[in-house]
Structure 1
Amino acid sequence: MRRAAIVAPARTPSGVEGGALSGMPPEWLASAVLSAVIARSGIDPMRIEDVAMACIDSGATSTPELSRLAARGAGLPFAVPGFLTDRRCGSGLQAVITAAMMVQTGAADVVVAGGVESAAGNGDLIRGDLANAEDLARYYGIGRVEADDFAVASHHKAARAWRQGHFSAEVIPVGVVQEGHDWSDSVTDTAARHQILRDEGVRADVSTRTLAELRPLISDGVVTTGNMSAHRHGAAACLVVAEDRLEDLGLSPIAYLVGWAAAGCDSGAATLGAAPAVAKLLGRTGRTLDDIDLVEVNEGFAVEVLALAREWDLDTSDRLNVNGSAIALGHPVGATGLRIMTTMLHELARTEGRYGLEAIALGHDHGIAALFESAGTTPVATAPLGARFHGSRPRRFGRHRA
């Protein structure tokens, strides 16, 4: 079976509710990132055979039409059909996996995988997930201070990654329409647009003192709006290509999909949604956590990630979410799985690591995980305006300071 290569993964900045990306139609966000992936890879659009798109927007755009609209907006030919995938918070990762299965089995040679979200609020926060997070806090002895510390670290890691230019290879600028113009005019009226270059909502100045002022969502609980993720607007995409077609297409992969798994568990008290999927995946691939250079766990709740770290005996300041995750960068639900993969693969290439593990809870009692192997290529990055130069020093693979 052919290996599935990941080529030119990219993402938009994440946008907060009421921010610059609010009101931007999901097909526009999706088209923007698809266009960037095509341009960065240099592929002939005629060689792309399908678009696997994820979107969990609660609005009327959550139809198969979205993938076709995004494809047309990105300049893909009308022969490219497009379809949607749905696996809750893991839908973006599922889009990559579905595209990978297509190229592995020979159904296609090149598929675009994408995810987008433009919904507001915390609509998919199920009360059972919140109750489970509180159960985890009690079972693993995770207090409010520890959860807030983890949330602060997520913001500080993301802010540092921006300062040091680590996100510059993965984030594309997005042109948004200024007030007083409509979207149809903005296609040709460049004066109507301005560029969004950075994630909204990352707070370098956040502290445990400021988070301590927030009230818990459940009386006497640990979870607050400050130590859990919030929905954001955003999109991410990549090419998924059959390994034996890379040379012919002139494409350079950043990584290969090694394996994936989805699994559930009894929905009793204090369950770790992502843990069964990770255990199943590692068992299938013959790897252990000691083999992994980077571990990316979606930060739905700080206590959930801390509980997983306890279960795995993993140092949260070492190779776990080294550039922050959903608490700082947000949770654009349909795009989150792809956003996490994009960030992880660029960091894996930058630090010359080999394996990266992504894990996402799809609720309190089931999850999805995927293992990627670096292709050994380093993307060229341009330091963002205002970035501070911090110099360089030799580093051990997979070792990061918090």
Structure 2
Amino acid sequence: MTTSPSEPRDLPVVVDALRTPIGTAGHGLRDVDAADLAAPVLAALAARAPAVDEVVLGNCMGPGGDVARVAALSAGLPLAVPALTVDRQCGSGLAAVTVGAALVRDGASVVVAGGVESASTAPWRSWPPSSRDGEPVRYARAPFAPASVGDPDMGLAADLLAAEHGVDRQQQDAYAARSHARAAATLERGGFAEETVPVGAVHVDERPRAGLTAERLGRLRPLHRTDGTVTAGNSCGVNDGAAAVTVVSAGTHRELGVPGLRILATATAGVDPNRPGLGIVPATGRALARAGLTLDDLDVVELNEAFAGQVLACCAELSLDPERVCVEGGALALGHPWGASGAVLVVRLFSQLVRAGRGRYGLAAIAAGGGQGVAVVVERCP
């Protein structure tokens, strides 16, 4: 039996959401490793929640060793609280939220879920020597897919995706400039303040640039193809940051008596690894169908802005007006700390729908290397 979105259901509810400022790799957060970056967020959420049953964090490039467990202990959570680290590449933070929701549906009362990435302190990685006397071979990233299937760099894949969808350079630069303008305006009016936990001397996001114009972006050279359209200006940065949310059961939510975001539906999807940025499209369609909603029902849409061309191609596939996406600025301006970015999207939904009371329904969706997508649909509830 299915129910309409307006009917009360015993679904998980996000009752709190916080993040660090997002730093540019090599700058303000350069000396803070992944666990220590996540710890202040976990500590702040735990201090404002009932006893935490479990911690789930997404991470892509950390040192291993279960970063979530190290971060939870660094945050001062009790030794009895278990922790899980998940890796769905750029979708890891949002995947962690879906895992947290599943744990709540399975009986947990309170789960803190999110993600973290410290590009600045990510370990160097090497393949072992091919012979006894050989040297290790350093590599920048692990394979996202078998070479026989296709495993292009994300930027090149986004460039080809934009070309295939007729998204030209001017459109991409205009979208990127708008993201910066929106984020800078939100920062100026204090719109990120309630969701941000300072880390050391870093109190605000480092990347947004007020006054950045499409004309200035138009001077940058293509990164991946001589006649390409993806540049450093219309791509996300390389960043450090952490974000997490507190997910509780419907019963715990009733006891707390606070507003929150009811998780109506989650979905994951696979697409061609040669065009990984399209993962947003089928994941969004599945999540909306499970929630019994359409794009027209949504008040807030947060898509991860890895590349302007990729977002615009997804909007074209979804018949979604790009003006509706990330109205307070997205990852092109704020940055894309890979393992955390999906959780940042949910924090942004919480700030707009709950803290600001701006509507009822929201969507967070992100694509991931290897050709995957994750989406979550939420409803503001009293």
Tell me which moved more, 163-172 or 307-316: 307-316
TM-score (norm 2): 0.85
Q: In the alignment, which residue of structure 2 is the partner of 1:62?
A: 64
Q: Which runs of 5+ in 1 are unaligned?
A: 176-194, 377-402
Change (3 A) 1:270 1:330: closer
Counterpart contact for 1:30–1:114, Cα < 8 Å: no
| TM alignment of 1:1-400, pairs within 5 A | 2-39=10-47, 41=48, 43-44=49-50, 47-57=51-61, 59=62, 61-64=63-66, 66-106=67-107, 108-120=108-120, 123=141, 127-175=152-200, 195-217=201-223, 218-248=225-255, 250=256, 252-266=258-272, 272-317=278-323, 319-349=324-354, 350-363=356-369, 365-376=371-382
Cα-Cα RMSD: 2.1
Q: Tell me how far 1:224 sits from its aligned partner.
A: 0.6
Counterpart contact for 2:276–2:372, Cα < 8 Å: no
Q: Which amino acid aligns with 1:52?
A: V
Tell me which moved more, 342-351 or 2-11: 342-351
Q: Distance in 1 between matches of 2:257 and 2:75?
A: 19
Counterpart contact for 2:152–2:274, Cα < 8 Å: no
Runs (4+) off by over 6 Å: 268-271
Counterpart contact for 1:272–1:364, Cα < 8 Å: no
Give 3-state SS (helix, strand or coil) of 1:169's partner.
helix
Give 3-state SS (helix, strand or coil) of 1:358's partner.
strand
Counterpart contact for 2:270–2:371, Cα < 8 Å: yes
Q: Distance in 1 between matches of 2:65 and 2:176?
A: 34
Q: Distance in 1 between matches of 2:72 and 2:106?
A: 23
Q: Distance in 2 between matches of 1:168 and 1:51?
A: 24
Tell me which moved more, 285-294 or 342-351: 342-351
Q: Tell me how far 1:210 sits from its aligned partner.
A: 2.0
TM-score (norm 1): 0.81
Number of aligned residues: 347
Q: Distance in 1 between matches of 2:276 and 2:45?
A: 40
Cα offsets for 1:306-333 (capped at 9, x unmatched): 112222332222x211111111111111
Change (3 A) 1:28 1:310: same
Q: Which runs of 5+ in 2 are unaligned?
A: 1-8, 123-139, 145-150
Q: Distance in 2 between matches of 1:119 and 1:166?
A: 26
Q: Distance in 1 between matches of 2:178 and 2:246?
A: 32
Give 3-state SS (helix, strand or coil) of 2:268's partner.
strand
Percent sequence identity is 40
Change (3 A) 1:165 1:273: same
Change (3 A) 1:269 1:161: closer
